[in-house]
A and B are shown apart, each in its own frame.
Chain A
Amino acid sequence: MRKAMKVIGLLAISLTMTLAGCSQGSNENPGSSPSTNNGSNQTDKAPKDVTLRMSYWAGSQLTVDKNNAVIELFEKAYPHIKIEAEYYAGDAYNDKINVQAASNSLPDIIRVDYAQIKNYVNKGLLTPLDDYISDQTINMEGVAEVNMKGGMIDGVTYGINIGNNALVMFYDPDKLAEAGVNPPGPDYTWEQYEADLRAVKDKLGLYGDTHLAREHFEVWLRQHGQKLYAADQKTLGYEDDQLFVEFMEQQLRWQKEEMISPISVELEIRGLEDGPFPKGESAFGGYSYWSNHADIMETQLGKELGMAMYPGSGDGKGMYMKPSFFHGVWSGSKHPKEAAMFIEFFTNNINAAKSLNAYFGMPYHPNLVQEMQATFSETQKRVSAYLQVVEQHSSEIDPPAPVAGSEVGKIFTNVASEIFYERITPAEGAAKFRTEANAALAKAK
């Protein structure tokens, strides 16, 4: 009997210890445990201490600093709310969100890209925000519909646009002047672009630009009245493979004449500060840069830069305004109201906007736009002017990419690399891309 008691006692102790150890381990976020404990026991007047988690995409230190600055302002304005921020770069960001979603531990505030928001909504990860908008926790009065549309799925708002962006081709005005090239205007054509690349190479011995990216291909298709994905998103949206072939053939031409950087250089690029343009080795910087990268580029090169639309955008069919990111609230968040308050602050508060200086995209709230004009840095004034040009030469953004969008992107990059390493011809590449992309789109739901 005594021995049995000893055994049971030891078992109980080791069991408790193991369980305690396990539950401690699985609770990765120290932040959320105090908030769940303080939880809903009291509903008195004084706001109870709340800790929120947020996650965002950061490819450079500047992004982290800007984000933290806004968090500090918010915490000063609302002392009872603390924000713990996590950030990841590149592909790792979406990977991390997926893992957190699978373990039911998403942050309260999630910064979501346009490419992913539909997928997250379909999986029930985001809370509808319409209630917070109607009771003015998030104040969207007077905001133009076009800025809200991207975040609305089936008529319900799930994400608040944090600022507008557009694809951009940076250029170094000094290098262009040296090469005797006119800076590109809204009516820049592809033929002129090719001639200019040649001029830069001949006169300066520098690269003109890098190869074109998938973003260029999407714009190229739009310029020819096509789309990358069909309306039902089960197949590609363009029938004529000749479009793909032309797109690749012109790059092969440029590659042969060494007017663009070699593909091996581009495959090594890691981060926004890396690459021929930020390092001053090319005159144009198309790559896949967005207008809110202007700050980083100008810091890297230490000078004023020009911003132009992609060639062939004169008729306004190709370019589009893109919400840079959305802020969404996790459907399992214990403090959706506080999360909504932070989103409102980040998007609409004038001090936050001044601190950010349109780093995450151009503000669009009419109140802000007026006030910001006075405080914009030179860089931001230029970005703002550029976005106005784009606004006049753009058409509606394509619907959000389907779930298989990242796979299609990878297939495109792979096929493009094969073409540029001259393993297959553009015609073979066009067929290969179509077959593999359609297969990926057909499989996904």
Chain B
Amino acid sequence: MRGVGNKSIWSSDNTAGYLFIFPWLFGFLVFSIIPIGASLFLAFTRYDILSPPEWVGMDNFKAMFTEDSRYWLSVKATLLFVFIAIPLRLVFALIVAMVLNQKLRFLGFFRSAYYLPTLIGGSVAVAVMWRHLFGLNGALNSFLESAFGITDKISWITHPSTALPSLILLSVWQFGSAMLIFLAGLKQVPKELYEASEVDGAGSFQRFKSITLPLLTPVLLFNLIMGIINGFKVFTEGMIVTGGGPFDKTLFYVLYLYEKSFRYYEMGYGSAMAWILLMVIAAFTAIVFTTSRHWVHYESKGD
């Protein structure tokens, strides 16, 4: 009664499947696809939520690129964040994963401890705690005073030079999820390769460069892509810890989008910003994917 594969998607064999995923499909259509489509339409309008949208064509995009200085500040803050926090986070994740890959006592405890920040990650509670750590009268300043006698205090989260670094630090602190994935990747490296290379007299750095790193590249690719996508979407930290920083130093792209849409009633502009962000993220992801052919080494591909 049931046919073999190769039937069209509308064949009745798949009906049961469709019925099962129907609730999800319905939700996806109504809560994802339709709003995305609406946002594309709104990007070409002037819409202040409370009156009907008014078509303005490319005006939003023109204003964004040529007339809005705060827009470029937000781009700068976000790009700085992405290009500093993501590599730092991956490096830390890899280092800690390699350390945890050895036979240590309390290995399980350490793994959980390092993963914990990611769990409580983008929450308001952490952002509030960060303020207490790095504020003018926070823990870091007290430590500096008692350990080094430095009495000239600055507020790390509101000073223009250190506001963004403190948020980058917050993001790097949450390296746990990347670390776990690296750990899984490390465990897949065959031990024989290491043993063989030791026999041949390879030093530990040589081993890392020629064995570990190449075999980790698929995992690295995954972490890089995820990191880039999430990095561009950074919002909570900027909103809660610095509120956009002293004069927009930490005005992340999505934070500026939020401000424009909900505080200044320019939802059309916000939608336009959102679509530009989507295109930028897609571009970066595409670049990483196409260059991945040259540096990612898939074991399963064969030669």
Which of A130-138, A182-190, A234-242, A417-425 has 4 or more CB atoms under 8 Å from chain B? A417-425
Q: Is the CB of A264 within 8 A of B136?
A: yes
Q: Is the CB of B160 within 8 A of A423?
A: yes
Q: When chains A and B are docked, how far (Å) is the Cα of A440 from the Cα of B135?
A: 32
The interface size of chain A toward B, counting residues with CB under 8 Å, comes to 42
- Interface residue A340 (Cβ < 8 Å from any Cβ of B): no
Q: How far is the CB of B299 from chain A (nearest CB, A)?
A: 42
- Which listed residue (A98, A407, A415, A444) contacts B247, Cβ 8 A? A415
Q: Is the CB of A421 within 8 A of B160?
A: yes
- Contacts known (A11-B19, A436-B69); A268 close to B158, Cβ less than 8 A: yes
Q: How far is the CB of A23 from chain B (nearest CB, A)?
A: 12
A-B contact number at CB 8 A? 85
Interface string of A402-422 (1 = CB under 8 A from B): 011011001001110110010
Which residues of B, 52-72, contact A by the 8 Å Cβ criterion? 63, 67, 69-70
Chain B at the A interface: SS class: helix
Q: Is the CB of B155 within 8 A of A264?
A: yes
- Interface residue B49 (Cβ < 8 Å from any Cβ of A): yes
- Interface residue B22 (Cβ < 8 Å from any Cβ of A): yes
Q: When chains A and B are docked, how far (Å) is the Cα of A99 from the Cα of B73?
A: 27
- Interface residue A46 (Cβ < 8 Å from any Cβ of B): no
Q: Is the CB of B50 within 8 A of A268?
A: no
- Which listed residue (B158, B246, B262) contacts A95, Cβ 8 A? B262
Q: Is the CB of A101 within 8 A of B49?
A: yes
- Interface residue B23 (Cβ < 8 Å from any Cβ of A): yes
Chain B residues with CB under 8 A of A22: 30
Chain B residues with CB under 8 A of A125: 50
Category for how many chain B residues contact A: 20 to 34
Q: Is the CB of B157 within 8 A of A268?
A: yes
Q: How far is the CB of A189 from chain B (nearest CB, A)?
A: 31
Q: Is the CB of B157 within 8 A of A95?
A: no
- Contacts known (A98-B49, A102-B50, A268-B155); A10 close to B263, Cβ less than 8 A: no
Which residues of A, 1-31, contact B by the 8 Å Cβ criterion? 7, 10-11, 14-15, 17-18, 22
Q: Is the CB of B131 within 8 A of A417?
A: no
Q: When chains A and B are docked, how far (Å) is the Cα of A15 from the Cα of B136?
A: 56
Q: Is the CB of A7 within 8 A of B263?
A: no
- Interface residue A374 (Cβ < 8 Å from any Cβ of B): no
Q: How far is the CB of B250 from chain A (nearest CB, A)?
A: 11
Q: How far is the CB of A153 from chain B (nearest CB, A)?
A: 15
Q: When chains A and B are docked, how far (Å) is the Cα of A89 from the Cα of B31?
A: 29
- Interface residue B291 (Cβ < 8 Å from any Cβ of A): no
Q: Is the CB of B136 within 8 A of A123?
A: no
Q: Is the CB of B263 within 8 A of A406?
A: yes
Q: When chains A and B are docked, how far (Å) is the Cα of A248 from the Cα of B248?
A: 19
Chain A residues with CB under 8 A of B265: 98, 119, 403, 444
Q: When chains A and B are docked, how far (Å) is the Cα of A137 from the Cα of B262?
A: 35
Chain A residues with CB under 8 A of B131: 268
- Interface residue B15 (Cβ < 8 Å from any Cβ of A): yes
- Interface residue A77 (Cβ < 8 Å from any Cβ of B): no
Chain B residues with CB under 8 A of A63: none
Chain A residues with CB under 8 A of B27: 18
- Chain B residues in the interface with A (C-beta under 8 A): 15, 19, 22-23, 26-27, 30, 48-51, 63, 67, 69-70, 131, 135-136, 154-155, 157-160, 246-248, 259, 262-266
